[in-house]
Amino acid sequence: MTSADTSGRLPDAFLRPGSSSFVDFLGAHSPDLLPGRRLTAGGAPADGLAPHATTIVALTFGTDDGGRGVIMAGDRRATAGNLIASREMEKVFAADAYSVVGIAGSAGVAIELVRLFQLELEHYEKIEGSLLSLDGKANRLSTMIRGNLPLALQGLAVVPLFAGYDLDRGYGRLFSYDVTGGRYEEHDHHTVGSGSVFARGALKKLWRPGLDADAAVGVAVEALYDAADDDSATGGPDPVRQIWPVVTVVDADGVRHVGDDELAGTVERIVAERGAAHRAAHGDRPAGGGTRQRNQGGARA
Amino acid sequence: MTMPFYVSPEQLMKDRADFARKGIARGRSVVVLAYEGGIAFATENPSRALHKISEIYDRIAFAAVGKYNEFENLRVAGVRYADLRGYSYDRTDVTARGLANAYAQTLGTVFTTESKPLEVELVVAEVGPTPGADQIYRLSYDGSVADEHGHVVMGGQAEQLGARVADAWHEGMSLAEVLALAVRTLGAVGADGSVTAEGEEREIAPGGLEVAVLERAGRRRAFRRLQGAVLAGLLDQPGDRDGAEQV
């Protein structure tokens, strides 16, 4: 506890009426604990020092009248330069009972931001006795990302994707952000992170209105599979270590993590379909055309 | 020149204590009872928004009697204390004992140094992994702390009601049993503030009660409010009526 008061009594700042925001309280009482306030040496570029978290996808499912929900999924890889820093990193978190947040960017800063964001929502809920509105939550996240701008300028950017069930309106919504804290509501689907280009391409072809939750989970996993196919920083499903993407479903019942058994089945189905499609196109020959052409130029092996 | 009246420290403290006690006794009681699966809190409170029982942290709850603005301030301070501690260390490092100490120091300092003591009495409770590890701290207006075992009654007529609860409470009671005991205890105070004889308690409708529990098993956040149909169902269990008839 950062307090000069040694008598053990609660400091005056704790007893001051006012803000229901933990971030505001922290900023006033112990600003050094806020992630974005820490200055690194001389403002030197700091990217490349810390692991990077990569691709997050999110998409809606269901119909407007039947209770639209949102699915968010993330791969499990963190990279540091050309190395894999972690195979089991989780980048999609339940922010509270009705919303999830996924992060791409500098892993250490991002995880601390998520921890603070979760606490911010819980703190408000405890003090006010009611949940923050979904727009309110999205705006709080915006403020926190903006607070991280000094670090972002040094290369430690965090780009979240936020999704939740709007209890007032009765459907799920999706928000994307930029490093300056800009908040944009997305419709249907969105992706962030290094493999987002490929994942978004896949979502454009695979997503359609009125998907049910199970089909939407399949689409999310398949989009991540495509991202991992072309982006070296995105990890594909790992059947050897039994590591699957983190997939969360948010609907009127709240946040639910999709279980490993269900994901294993989904991955198995996607791999089998892709294998069948490949065999239909090329028979049993490898994709290279059968004959090895070792002297071909281009990409290095 | 006028001489200021001399007031002995004993008299000063006694006056302040009387003042605080009077303020606290005006409010309705809060009953805190440990049961097999956690700790239950109950009070008579028709308001759905102004709570006397609240969540502080994952396994810690807060209950108060007295002046609303004063204990609300302490509650918010407690939430800030717990969240800041959990954020700078770890969630497991937030304990009811630490919070009770901070409250005790605060109440004690205000009692001796400020012109008016805080007219509040608090309970800080933490549910543990086993019933033996449950902690219930009762804090008075002067900063004194008592580590209670299993049951606490605060507020008006606390002594008489506390004696009744002490007789009826035993370890290993179910949630429905402790809620029946709590409602019986709360109903023993009549509209004029007098304590009725046992067996002649007022009936209190579930809508007029504020009830919450800290549940031992299950989710990270153990605090749960019991309202509406859930509460009515628990209060209406046949087992309780049998229990009530034995009294």
pLDDT at B201: 85
Q: What is the pLDDT of residue A52?
A: 84
d(CA B38, CA A9): 29
Q: ipTM of the predicted structure? A: 0.90
Q: How confident is the model at residue A113, as a pLDDT?
A: 94
pLDDT for the residue A295: 57
Arithmetic mean of pLDDT, A58-67? 86
pLDDT band for position B242 (cuts 50, 70, 90): very low
pLDDT of A293 over the 80 cut: no
Burial class (CB in 10 A: 0-12, 13-18, 19+), B242: exposed
CATH topology classification for B28-246: Glutamine Phosphoribosylpyrophosphate, subunit 1, domain 1 (3.60.20)
Interface contact flag, B81 A122, Cβ < 8 Å: no
Share of chain A above pLDDT 90, in %: 68
Q: What single-letter DSSP state applies at residue A187?
A: -
Residue A298: pLDDT over 80: no
Q: What residues in A contact B49, CB-CB < 8 Å?
A: 129
Looking at residue A37, its pLDDT comes to 67
Task: Tell me the torsion sign for CA atoms B34, B37, B38, B42.
Answer: negative
* pLDDT value at residue B219: 86
What are the start-end ranges of the H helices in A129-259?
134-147, 149-153, 196-206, 213-230
More confident residue, A231 or B244: A231
The pLDDT, as a whole number, for residue A44 is 67
Cβ of residue A281 closer than 8 Å to a chain B Cβ: no
For residue A166, give how far its alpha carbon lies from the nearest alpha carbon of chain B (Å): 22
pLDDT (0 to 100) of residue A297: 55
Average pLDDT over chain B, rounded to whole? 90
Confidence of residue A32 (pLDDT cuts 50, 70, 90): confident
Q: How confident is the model at residue B51 (pLDDT cuts 50, 70, 90)?
A: very high
Taking CA–CA distances from B53, the nearest residue in chain A reads A129
A6 pLDDT band, cuts 50/70/90, is low
Model confidence over A106-119: pLDDT tens digits? 998 999 999 999 99
| pLDDT tens string B130-156 | 999 999 999 999 999 999 999 999 988
Of the listed A2, A6, A40, A54, which one is catalytic?
A: A54
Is A54 annotated as catalytic?
A: yes
Mean pLDDT rounded to a whole number for chain A: 88
Contact B56, B181 (CB under 8 A): no
pLDDT band, very low/low/confident/very high, at B199 (cuts 50, 70, 90): confident
- Partner-chain contact B105 A10, CB within 8 Å: yes
Which two tokens mark A158? 């965090």
Residues 6+ apart with CB under 8 A from B232: B206
Asked whether the predicted pLDDT for residue B212 surpasses 50, the reply is yes
A213 and A62 Cβ atoms separated by less than 8 Å: yes
> Given this model, what pLDDT does residue B191 score?
74
Q: Count of residues for chain A?
A: 301
Give the pLDDT confidence score for residue B126 in this predicted structure: 97
Quick check: A10 and B81 CB within 8 A?
A: yes
Please tell me the distance in Å from B243's CA to the nearest CA on chain A.
34
Q: Measured between CB atoms, which of A9, A115, A129 is closest to B106? A: A9
Question: What architecture (CATH level 2) is domain A52-280?
Answer: 4-Layer Sandwich (3.60)
Q: What are phi and psi of A276, to 5 degrees?
A: -65, -40
pLDDT tens-place string over residues A198-213: 999 999 999 999 999 9
| pLDDT above 70 for B240 | no
Concatenate the DSSP letters of all residues of chain B into one string: -PPPPP--HHHHHHHHHHHHHHHHHHSPPEEEEEETTEEEEEEE---SSS-SEEEEETTEEEEEEE-HHHHHHHHHHHHHHHHHHHHHS-GGG--HHHHHHHHHHHHHHHHHHSSS---EEEEEEE--SSGGG-EEEEE-TTS-EEEESSEEEESTTHHHHHHHHHHH--TT--HHHHHHHHHHHHHTB-TTSPBPPTT-PPP--GGGEEEEEEESSSSS--EEEE-HHHHHHHHT-HHHHHHHHH-
How much is the average pLDDT of B40-57? Answer: 93
Q: Report the gap between the CA of B79 and the closest CA in chain A (Å).
A: 7
Least confidently predicted of A92-96, B44-48, B59-63: B44-48
pLDDT greater than 90 at residue B68:
yes
- Of A16-25, A218-227, B176-185, give the lowest mean pLDDT range: A16-25
* Distance in angstroms (rounded) separating the CA atoms of residues A76 and A222: 14
What gap in Å lies between CA B154 and CA B151, rounded to an integer? Answer: 10
Packing angle of the helix pair B68-88, B96-113 (nearest 10 deg) = 140
The lowest-confidence range among A47-61, A244-258, A264-278, B56-70 is A47-61
Please give the residue that has the higher pLDDT: either A73 or A283: A73
Cα–Cα distance measured from residue B234 to residue B180, given in angstroms and rounded to the nearest whole number: 9
pLDDT band, residue B222 (cuts 50/70/90): very high
**Distance, CA of A225 to CA of A205 (rounded, Å):** 14
**Which carries the bigger pLDDT value, residue B3 or residue B31?**
B31
Partner-chain contact B81 A14, CB within 8 Å: yes
Give pLDDT, residue B47. Answer: 87
Residues of A in contact with B103 (CB under 8 A): 10
